[in-house]
Amino acid sequence: MNAKTKEEELREVQMLGLKLPTDPRWVNLAEKDLEEILTDHAYCEQKAATACISLIQAYPEKEEMVRELAPIVTEEWGHFRMVLKELEKRNLHLGRQRKDEYVNKLLAFQKKGGSREERLLEKLLTCALIEARSCERFRLLSLHINEEELRDWYHKFMVAEAGHYVLFIELARKYLPEEMVKQRWEAYLEREAEIMQELELRGDRMH
């Protein structure tokens, strides 16, 4: 099979179901202070790795999920290291982790209680959504940031996170009834669009 061209990759990941595109001014804000945006990005990667580890710990009996997520932990941690390396290369420093309002608002939307399986669905869809929005933002950076080297660098993250988004949705479909996944995903997408409007547009945040 032929490898996809960059243009094909860009077209495929345009919105991933998201209901609200990011304000285009965000890239200009983000590139004003690379140390800030790279720091936030680094912690997003760390949290992605941590989320996969937590899923494995909570659902060891879901063998296929464990098998699929184990390498994603390595991949996300690899992303963290890529960001660290980029900071070092530029003589910048990893700052402190900040409160993640976007993720907190998504977590607040998760249905509490319910069966173990239903809680799994909430976790998988939350992960899928964070991947989708990250992917959409990496796409914007990969297209519009001034520095060419960084555009290529962000393109790689865009492709990887799109793959993770697909995996989380597939896992949800594997373990939960299709109709339930569909309805809940739609509710998440709607809530996510509201969250995007509630949050201030900031250049020092990936979301």
Which residues in 145-204 contact Fe ion (CB under 5 A)?
Answer: 161, 164
Rounded to an integer, what distance in angstroms lies between the CA atom of residue 106 and that of residue 109?
5
Which residues in 4-23 contact Fe ion (CB under 5 A)?
Answer: none
To Fe ion, the closest distance from the beta carbon of 114 in angstroms equals 25
Using rule CB under 5 A, residue 139 touches Fe ion: no
Position among 62, 79, 123, 207 found at the interface with Fe ion (CB under 5 A): 79
Q: What are phi and psi of 60, to 5 degrees?
A: -60, -25
Of 31-39, 77-85, 172-180, 198-206, the segment contacting Fe ion by CB under 5 A is: 77-85
To Fe ion, the closest distance from the beta carbon of 129 in angstroms equals 12
To Fe ion, the closest distance from the beta carbon of 160 in angstroms equals 6
Residues that bind Fe ion (rule: CB under 5 A) add up to a total of 7
To Fe ion, the closest distance from the beta carbon of 17 in angstroms equals 16
CB 185 within 8 A of CB 138: no
Tokens of 141: 């950076």
Using rule CB under 5 A, residue 49 touches Fe ion: no
CB 150 within 8 A of CB 123: no
Using rule CB under 5 A, residue 48 touches Fe ion: yes
Contacts 24+ apart (CB under 8 A), 147-156: 147/31, 153/82, 153/86, 155/6, 155/9
Identify the CA nearest to 140 among candidates 37, 3, 5: 37
Identify the CA nearest to 192 among candidates 146, 144, 136, 151: 136
Site string for Fe ion, 27-46 (x = CB under 5 A): ------------------x-
To Fe ion, the closest distance from the beta carbon of 146 in angstroms equals 23
Residues that bind Fe ion (CB under 5 A): 45, 48, 76, 79, 131, 161, 164
